[in-house]
Amino acid sequence: MKEFTYTVTDPQGIHARPAGELVKLAKEFSCNVNISKDGKKGDCKKIFAIMGLGIKGGMEVVLSFDGEDEDAAYEKISSFMKENL
């Protein structure tokens, strides 16, 4: 299992457009990809799970990757977060 901790830099946080892109990326991998904030966790393959966390700019999130292709998922999704959020 791998984890990536990130502080969201986009002032709008994770709104519908980037949440949709995150879901699309997560679905490319067979491993479990979860995002958590303040003890609440959501499946990155479900847009409502991400949106339900209410992640705003400046908040810290932890993404966890667990499964056979977790290394590839970690690389691609952590890059996406750094470049877009």
Active-site amino acid positions = 15
Rg, Å, the chain Cα set? 11
13, 57 in Cβ contact below 8 A?
yes
First to last CA, the chain: 23
DSSP label at 30?
S
